[in-house]
Structure formats: C-alpha cells, structure tokens
Amino acid sequence: MKKTGSQILLESLVLEGVDTVFGYPGGTVINIYNDLLDYPIKHILTRHEQAAVHAADGYARATGKVGVAIATSGPGATNTVTGIATAYMDSTPMVVITGQVPTPLIGNDAFQEADIVGMTRSITKHNYLVKDVKDLARIIKQAFYIARTGRPGPVLIDLPKDVQIAATRFSYPETVELRGYKPTYSGNVRQVEKAAKMILASRRPVLFVGGGATASDAGEDLMSFAELIQAPVVTTLMGMAAFPTGHPLALGMLGMHGTYYANMAVTNADLLVAIGARFDDRVTGRVAAFAPKAKIIHIDIDPTSIKKNVRVDLPIVGELRDVITNIMDRLRSDAAQVQALPELTASWRSQIDAWRSQYPMTYKASDTVIKPQFVIQKIRELTARDAVIATEVGQHQMWTAQFFNFCHPRSFITSGGLGTMGFGLPAALGAQVACPDRQVIDISGDGSFQMNSQELATLVQYKLPVKIAILNNNFLGMVRQWQQLFFDRRYSQTPMELPIDFVKLAEAYGATGLRATRPAEVEGVIRKALEIPGPVLMEFQVDREENVMPMVPAGAAIDEMVLAS
C-alpha cells in the first residue's frame, strides 16, 4: 500500500518511538499537520518556532530521548536556527523537520523560501534536503541514528511540499549503513592501560566532568570511579548534575564563576582526567596557564574534541561508561596499589579541604533586600532538591549553578555552549511534558524571560505546572557586572528601567502571578506557588547590584580570581 510523504514521516516517527513533537504549522507543512490528526503523536503548539526547538531540547535533555520539532519554510525555518545552534553546542539529540517550497520552485525566490539546509550546515550534525519521496524513510532512519549515536546532536530534514504529497510504497529500514560514520565506543586497550598507570602514579588527581557524562548517563560509573581512586571532582556548567554536589569529593563548578577550591585544585593537580568535557574557554581561562602542573587524560566519544583547545598527554576515544569501566577493571586487577592510593593522596584532599574552608561558596545575607542566592537556596530547600531546574542565561544561571546543589542527573537544563537568552522557559515547558510527575522550575532573569515570555500561553493551554522564578533586578545583570568591574560603572544600555508588572503579565495569559519584595516574603511565595496546580510566575525583586562571585577576569588564569566586589 502506498503512502504519501507526510504519512511516511509520521509512520517513521512512531516507529522511532516518538510520542511528542513540538511545533508551529504553516503552508508548507500543512499536509503533515493534516495527517498528524490520524497518528498517536502528541503535538505541543508553542507560540514561536524558536521556542518549539528549545522545548524539544528540554524534552531531550530531561529524558535522553531524541527531541522532535516541526516548522514551516522561510521565516518558520529561520526561526529555528537559534534553537538548533543551542542544541548543537550542548550536544542535544534532536531531529528538526522543516517544510520547504515545492522542488521545482527551489532557487526561484518563491514565497517563504529560504535555504535552511545551507544556513544550518555548520550548526547541525547533519542535514538533508529530501528531493524524492522514495528516499524519505531511509533519511528519517539515518537522521535519528545520527542524532542519538556518538556525540549526540541535532539533525535537520528539509521536506519540500511536493515530496510530502507524493506517494510511494512504505518500508522502514531496519538498519543504517553510513559510510564514514562509525562512532568508536570502546577505548583502546593500550590507552586504558596507560591511563591506569598514570592514575596509580598520581598524588594530586582531579576528575574533570563535562556534559558528556550526562549525555551518556555515566553518573553511576563516574561516582564509582571517583570513590575507587578517591579523586576530587570538578564539573563544567553542563556537567553540574552528573556528579552530586553534596558528595564529599565534589568541588563544584570550575572556571570563570567556579568555586575557589575547584580552580585551585585544577591549577595544582598533577593529573587531570577529563571526562566528556571540551575545555571551553569559560572553563580554562588563559589556556597557557590551565592545569600547568598536570598531565591530562582526555576521554571523549568525539575525537575532534580531543586536543582541540588544550594539550593532552593521553587521549582515549570511546563511550564514557565503557572507558571508565575498563579503567576501573584494570585498576582493580592491581588491588594492592589501588588500596594504597587513598592514603597516598590524603594530603592532597586535606589541602583542598583547607582551600574550601578558606574561601567557601557564600554571599552576604540581608534582612532588608532579597539576595538572589537566598531565593535559589529556598527553592532548593522547599523542593527537596528533587526538581528539574531550567535556567535562562545570565547572573541567575551562574547563581543557580553555584547554590542549588544538584544531586540527580538530568535535573539541570541550561544553555551552556551558546548561552542562549530565552532558552529556559520553553526548555522547562519541554521538560515538564517529558516529566509530568516532577516539579519543573525555570529560574530566570528579567531580561532573559522577556525573550520568550509568550510561552506562558503554551503553559496555560496545556495545563503544564511549570513554576517560573524571575530574579528581577531591572538590569541586564551579567553585562552590568562587567561594566561595573571593568568599565568604571559606565552602565551602557543595561538598565531595564521600564517597570514590567510581571504579576499582571502572568495573569494576562491566565497563569498565576506572585511577587516578593522583602526577604521575609520569599519562602511564603515559593510555598504558595508550589501548592497551586497550574503554572505560576514568581517575581522576586532582588538586590540590583549583586554580583556573581568568584570571577575570573577575561584573559586571566583560573587561579587569578576576583573573590569579592
């Protein structure tokens, strides 16, 4: 029996296990939306195509599944670009389907035509323009395989309208054969042997964990590894939730706004084992001064990430759980040396504890003005640390990383690589769809929130009980902080003086709005918000010029921190 291109697309999504898609209809995808009514796939209608991709991203990050978004051609497709780039930078598995004008019109400046394949070539793991309906099933199979295997990432399928309408016999491939694409999953045995010897010889080891640990669900193996060799653990922003912050070996985040003791540990380590991290410039500071005393082992499934930004003494390409397990097996075969390791490295951990006691992560509390860190700590306390937290981008994002103390993998959803303002609310929306029984909270700044605030309507329409906490300082806070510290307080275009009434904004969309202006009101507002079944926006009017500290100035080494402002 023949099926049309749009039916083949939807049949294939079902066979790939897709139960939810996020999107926004238009003329060149109208056939897909018509057929969608006949398939068991839930569609979430966002209010903007960028938000649809962020929502699919949040869904994927919360579950590990491939997120799916649909948009029409032209402006609908171009609106997806920021979301695709965000997913690409953070290695989120995703398939984005865009409509395209009919194939005979491509290149003729047809109505709502845009070369989305060309535009997204550098921000997708792979992309396709489907020219023949007979290729469609194979392409969809390949797209999902590429998105979820190796280093995950977004794949775009551009689907012309005439291909959606054309019909052919449907047969979904069982396997994928892609010449030149064969991810390496098992680490080289000799490299694993070398790594074990380097670990046993180390007296000041540090594990450096990135977002790859979350993507590969390596959390349990990672903890076993750290405990086996008693190595302190630092994380990137993307690796925050992969290792519980409350663990005795956890040192928190590394880099520009990392903890003093994490930065000092890496600067003085004699061995750095990087696990699924790409040595982002926010992490390394001045590269020439990064981990100057350490030999570096870099474990990653993506060979192009290794040696890209820093020197590496021992590269191991492979799937993280496989490599970590093999290293532990090798270490356990040398039981006497492994058992002696904790005692041999005890003074190193004592030194780190001394740094932790000297400069703990803290802030100056106040009885008169709301400190943003206090709000984050209260949210953590009142949600039993079980919530899924999404953030926008800015000061509130860094305070959340510093003070929430994450203890479960996939509980922290944030835009790390691209730093996309407007990401948090739609990503929280997607996470709530994926995890209907968990509390999802978007922690936001007033600037970021206004970039996709229209998604309040989506929350209300689908009765999604996302709670939004806006830390309102009427500033573009992070830029203002830089202007204060490095530009002599010349606040150019960072004050957002128009007093937005966020409570009324929430009410205009049919959500509940609450506000706290004094520290004594914070706990009551959070408790009330958590008791209300639907979406609730909480506005906290916080200290306008509170800064994120510590801070490593641009161009400085990570041990050259500014500790207070």
Domains and CATH numbers, the chain: 2-169 (3.40.50.970), 189-358 (3.40.50.1220), 372-541 (3.40.50.970)
Catalytic residues: 49, 111-112, 161, 478
CA distances from 467 to 355, 425, 550 (A): 36, 9, 28
Q: For the full predicted model, state whether its pTM sits above 0.85.
A: yes
Chain-centre distance of CA 270, in angstroms?
30
The alpha helices in 421-455, defined as continuous H runs, are 424-434, 446-449
Distance between CA atoms of residues 20 and 7, nearest Å? 16
Residue appearing with tokens 């590394």 = 254
CB-based contacts of 327: which residues, under 8 Å, 6+ apart? 187, 192, 195, 196, 199, 225
CA 196, CA 202: separation in Å to the nearest integer? 10
pLDDT tens per residue across all 565 residues of the chain: 899 999 999 999 999 999 999 999 999 999 999 999 999 999 999 999 999 999 999 999 999 999 999 999 999 999 999 999 999 999 999 999 999 999 999 999 999 999 999 999 999 999 999 999 999 999 999 999 999 999 999 999 999 999 999 999 999 999 998 988 999 999 999 999 999 999 999 999 999 999 999 999 999 999 999 999 999 999 999 999 999 999 999 999 999 999 999 999 999 999 999 999 999 999 999 999 999 999 999 999 999 999 889 999 999 999 999 999 999 999 999 999 999 999 999 999 999 999 999 999 999 999 999 999 999 999 999 997 789 999 999 999 999 999 999 999 999 999 999 999 999 999 999 999 999 999 999 999 999 999 999 999 999 999 999 999 999 999 999 999 999 999 999 999 999 988 899 999 999 999 999 999 999 999 999 999 999 999 999 999 999 999 999 999 989 999 999 998 7
